[in-house]
Amino acid sequence: MLPSNPIPKNEFTPAQILALGYFTVIIIGTILLMLPAATIDNSGLGFIAALFTATSATCVTGLIVVNTGTAFTFFGQLVIMVLIQIGGLGIMTMSTLIAFVIGKKITLKERLILQEDLNQFKISGLVRLVRSVLAFTLVIEGTGALILFLRLIRDYPFFKAIYFAVFHAVSAFNNAGFDLFGNSLEGFTGDIVMNLVMMVLIILGGLGFAVLVQLYNTRDIKKVSLQTKIVLTITLILILFGFFSILGLEYTNEATLGKLPFGEKLLSSLFLSVTTRTAGFNTIPTGELHSSTLFLVIVLMFIGASPGSTGGGIKTTTFGVLLITVWSLVTGKEDIEIFKRQLEKEVVFKALSITMLALGLVVLVTIVLTVSEDMDFLPVFFETVSAFGTVGLSTGVTPNLSSFGRILLTITMFAGRVGPLTLALAFAERKYNGVYHYPKEKIMVG
């Protein structure tokens, strides 16, 4: 069988160029964080710690091996914030922005890579979408920063309040999880303004830019695309499911929700449910959660945010397609239908491929880490899924990882940001249409 539209051996595919782009940004970030000017002690980070931090920022994860607020200078924190913004919006989105500024024309090949980065079906309208992405980012982050500033000015000097507000607005909208407070948001457990603003930023960043643009341009919610309907439905279901489950599991846990007033119990449960959608902030100590709650959080982190968003995971639409497929099989339907629309089988195959690739990666890394690190299984499993889902929540074991463990999680974060989806699309670019087909034969499963 011969390949259709073969790719010349001496040319990179859009998926490969995209991965190379993220890798290049990570290396630049690593070098900058190794400079003496990046750290308070004027010694710079070691290579592995710098690589881990740069990867965590670029892949909008939030796992840290040193405290962001106390270990880095303003320069070091600024490098991290810029990496977060580049990683959250996407390499090609930022490249297109630079092209706009210098007046450079966007070529067809650049549009193909941009299509891959934004996870879009077609290349038409991509430049217009990038303009919308940049406008939405500026408005949402700016509004979030303004509200956070009005709250933080009560506790911090004027310029520090501005800086903290901007940094955390960028970190929240890009689902990064980096903070300058030293203990994430545990000092704001009952603060309604901080909690609500951060949750709104996280959710908006996790919906996906195409969804945000369509919601803004469409007055009638019934007329939005199937993609938007599935994203909104699964997002709402996961948030509510996580909220009620966390509230029930942690209600009497004295180390987390047990000692809080009822209103703060509700607020903290809702925040944890939202932040597991690849954001990584926490208002209650993650390491004190019950094992059952940790496992629930692992599941939510693995699913993650939505396609074309600032978040990671296998994505809400992938999870939704799997649910719809199972439901169709159980109910005896031949067609896979939702919202009076039929899904193509290619979508189902892609969803299964992404999920299996992700599961394979998580299982492999977890097994290796349980051998290389002197730690219990659940914290290692939690850390691995957090890295893959680019979440950043941790039970506190990240700084205790060996150099090998840090490198392995660095690879996992990178794979989680550009991996399963990029690999699936890369495979799709190499379709083979045979001139003949083999005979079909059934096997027993289940």
DSSP string, 39-88: BTTSS---HHHHHHHHHHHHTT----SS-HHHHB-HHHHHHHHHHHHHHH
Nearest residue to 359 via CA among 323, 409, 396, 313: 313
Q: What are phi and psi of 404, to 5 degrees?
A: -65, -40
Does residue 7 carry a pLDDT above 50? no
Count other C-beta atoms under 10 Å from residue 203's C-beta: 20
Nearest residue to 388 via CA among 350, 351, 421: 421
- Taking residues 6-15, report their average pLDDT: 56
Question: Dihedral, CA atoms, 196, 197, 202, 206, nearest 10 degrees?
Answer: 90
Residue 290 lies in a domain: yes
Residue 441 lies in a domain: no
- 403: tokens are 């150099």
Residue 7 lies in a domain: no
Q: What are phi and psi of 181, to 5 degrees?
A: -85, -20
| Helix pair angle (209-217, 226-250), 10° resolution | 110
Distance of CA 432 to the CA centre of its chain: 32
Question: What is the b/e burial string over 391-411, where b = at least 16 CB atoms within 10 angstroms of the residue's CB?
Answer: bbbbbebbeebeeebbebbbe
Residue 41 lies in a domain: yes
pLDDT tens per residue across span 362-410: 999 999 999 999 889 999 999 999 999 989 899 988 888 999 999 999 9
Count other C-beta atoms under 10 Å from residue 413's C-beta: 30
Domain count, the chain: 1
Count other C-beta atoms under 10 Å from residue 225's C-beta: 14
DSSP 3-state of 341: strand
pLDDT tens per residue across span 255-275: 999 999 999 999 999 999 999
- 103: tokens are 């007046």
pLDDT tens per residue across span 290-317: 999 999 999 999 999 888 787 888 999 9
pLDDT for residue 1: 38
d(CA 419, CA 360): 12
Does residue 6 carry a pLDDT above 70? no
Percent of the chain with pLDDT over 70: 82
Residue 438 lies in a domain: no
What residues does 72 pair with on adjacent strands?
39
Instruction: Please spell the DSSP secondary structure of 280-322, one letter per residue.
Output: ---SS-GGGS-HHHHHHHHHHHHH-S-TTSS--SS-HHHHHHH
Tell me which of 104 and 75 has the higher pLDDT: 75
> What would you report as the CA-atom Rg of the chain, rounded to the nearest whole angstrom?
22
Does residue 445 carry a pLDDT above 80? no
- Taking residues 356-361, report their average pLDDT: 92
Least confident of 52-66, 117-131, 241-255: 117-131
Nearest residue to 310 via CA among 405, 168, 110, 174: 174
Reported confidence tier of residue 4, pLDDT bands at 50, 70, 90: very low
For residue 361, give the DSSP letter. Answer: H
Residue 9 lies in a domain: no
d(CA 74, CA 51): 19
pLDDT tens per residue across span 197-243: 999 999 998 888 888 888 888 877 778 888 888 999 999 999 999 99
> What is the extent of the structural domain holding 365?
14-428
Residue 446 lies in a domain: no
Residue 282 lies in a domain: yes
pLDDT for residue 417: 81
Nearest residue to 416 via CA among 26, 56, 108, 164: 56
Please report how many Cα atoms fall inside a 13 Å half-sphere around the Cα of residue 77, on the Cβ side: 21
DSSP 3-state of 439: coil
Count other C-beta atoms under 10 Å from residue 37's C-beta: 14
Count other C-beta atoms under 10 Å from residue 59's C-beta: 31
Instruction: Please spell the DSSP secondary structure of 133-156, one letter per residue.
Output: HHHHHHHHHHHHHHHHHHHHTTTS
pLDDT for residue 107: 59
Average pLDDT over the chain reads: 84
Tell me which of 321 and 133 has the higher pLDDT: 321
Distance of CA 230 to the CA centre of its chain: 18
Strand 337-338 to 341-342 pairing: antiparallel
Tell me which of 274 and 440 has the higher pLDDT: 274
Least confident of 34-43, 124-133, 319-328, 363-372: 124-133
